[in-house]
Structure 1
Amino acid sequence: MVFHGRMNCSRCWSGISATMQDCGPFRLIRDPGHWGASDPHTLVLGISKGNTQSTAFSSGPFERVAFKGMRHRVLEVLQAVGLLPNETAQEFERRFEPSERDFAFASVVRCSLTGMDRKKGIHTADSPNVLPAFRYGSPGRHFVDNCVDEHLVALPSRTRLVLLLGNTDAYIESLAGVIAQRRGPVTRINPVSYLSDGVRFVHLAHPSRGNGHYGAFIRGEGSAGLKRDLARQALASV
């Protein structure tokens, strides 16, 4: 069971006293955290904390870190697939506090993972620079494997639904492969969802302002709208 608050996970940090490490084009900052319920029925996971969240982690109130600046968009994504239909933004804010009983929030990679943007010459949390770490053979893949081993293999007994914020085809395929390898066989429900050992994993649109498909997902338009409808189907029986 993982409790609300800063985490003491040392899986990627054995023998490392620093709070930052580089591996190829990837950089990991030691700042794992968990928000909300300790025994949730639904776990909502981003890919990794972005720079805004990582900065807030080191200097701001802990309860305000997860999905900082985009929580209203997270709620819009959940409501677009039929969850929390009558929830207000103020009510949703309270779900990130230790008193929450049903929902928990974190990221697949619990520490802050960034990748080198070669054009800018800096590490960024932009998806095109981070998602390559999920590929088999990537120098950053062991960060992903370690986090799945540590935090997604032995889930709380009550957790039967994991919502993954990020639904590009490449991310769905890469993460499903990691889940299958580390957790156990994966059974496809449809192109955006799968089952593993009794837990349903469903991919939704990422709430980042840089996600150009976000609006289409919410409105149900085009290929993004199709993925929204597939997610709704996967959640209909939960």
Structure 2
Amino acid sequence: MTLSKKMPQTLCVTSGKGGVGKTSFTVNFAIALTRSGNRVLVVDGDMGLANVDVLLRLSVKNNIRDILESGADPRQALIFARPNLAVLPGSSGVPEMVSLGERHQDRLAGFIRQISSDFDYVIIDTAAGIGSSVLWYNRFSDHSIFILTPDPTSMTDAYALIKLLSRDQGINGFNMVLNFVRGVREGNHTVETIKRVTQRFLNLGLSHLGSIPEDKAVRQAVLDQVPFIEQTPGSKAARAVHDLAGKVGSLI
């Protein structure tokens, strides 16, 4: 009897607003998962302004746009950035890729499924906002992880995206990671606020996976184009991401 491969867990990392550290989280979270022996595929789902390759200093020859247009084997576009960590690069500076049509959605879904059987986790880093590709990636994935900050505009935009995904896409499970937190009091207040609003107006519960403190090591690592979990493994932010990776089994 032939045993079928176990399908990976697909995690969609998303946000309603740019500038919340979503891509930095994705890259560092993926590395943390590999350190537990997991094989991880990162899909750069920001179809117009891809930058996972920038944070990992990758030289990209083929990207998502190329394989969608050519129909080539998607493995040709994979780049192994680290042991057990592969990246499917997105396209950059191509505005027409921001809105994926149904044909491209179906083809991309097939590509991701085709290559994902070699991995334990697939992490999709979406664009910010409520574009059609963002909605589709969240619907396609097993779990949605929202990145937000204590900034009121971040909370407002996150709520708008959650409302849209719940109302129009039928998604009712949302996981939240709070980034750039300046203290326990600020973090607790932000979490309580967004939870209260989503429960009252959407009748939805949010799972707070954890918070990442504001840390100068993160800013320096971004400038140096190096994951902070590698550059400063003992930093507060790095320890927090490792803790979050340990909670991947509790995603809703």
More helix by share: 2
TM-score, reference length from structure 2: 0.38
TM-score, reference length from structure 1: 0.39
Report 1 or 2 for greater relative contact order, CA contacts < 8 Å, sequence distance ≥ 6.
2
